[in-house]
A and B are shown apart, each in its own frame.
Chain A
């Protein structure tokens, strides 16, 4: 197995798409850690105004979710049109449910 595949390795190394580079993933990981740390710090230090901290940490969460979907799950790559429709439809229904419930308790 090792013999045939070390040969195959050398031949196919250049075909691996650049989006798969581990450097990209490590950068995204580092950014996710930073975003998480900022979100926790904003709440823990109680410096940010209560009304603005919730939209702020929610924005950070959305950015991190985008990292997961587009960098780690490769939703941005070609041939993922149906995948994007599935996730957009799911997110739409989820968001509609959440908005409905939030308005239901306000009024």
Chain B
């Protein structure tokens, strides 16, 4: 209650866009996402150029397990849906429902990260490391960078959940949830291209 102080007595329909600061944050975050596209584009380009240079080590056809990648894809895709559900709950001003969906998002993200760590652990045991080949370097840089984005997103999400307990939903905190959900969708968007270019094309072996 105390968090819902002097700024507004009741929240507007789209609290994330109620203040100029909120709108600026969202606009600037899209600028950041444009830059992130360039970053991942260059990593994808490097991977595509080097993906058949396995240096005598294991190739993608031998390494990749499609059921594992399919499970990871399901987890991340579902977490993208739950993060959009949390924003829908926010628009209904239902804070407990919003927190519920954010917690589900966090659990799915943790599951994805767990699968990726297990996957990398297996690969290293099969002789596929960051230093084993150009394919290895390009693979771990691209997929690892995406995994680091998921890990950072989880830390961000935990900070948001801690903030919710202290400050609640106001026109000041609403843009923070909204910008996080944009970030999380973008991370899922990048994963769509990773499972296509890295895993599926790697399994086809062209």
Query: Taking beta carbons and an 8 Å cutoff, which residues of A are in contact with B?
Result: 1, 4-5, 7-9, 12-13, 15-16, 20, 22, 25-26, 29, 32-33, 36, 39-40, 43-44, 50-51, 53-54, 57-58, 60-61, 64-65, 68-69, 72-73, 82-83, 86-87, 89-91, 93-95, 97-98, 100-102, 104-105
Contact = CB atoms under 8 A, between A and B. Distances in A.
A31 B78 CA distance: 12
A10 to B, nearest CB: 11
For chain B, the bracket of interface size reads: 35 or more
Contact of A68 (B34, B46, B188): B188
Contact of B189 (A65, A97, A98): A65
Nearest to B12: A12
A9 B81 CA distance: 23
A86 B9 CA distance: 35
Given A1-B4, A90-B36, A68 B185 contact: yes
B42 interface: yes
Contacts of A32: 77
A20 to B, nearest CB: 6
A58 B48 contact: no
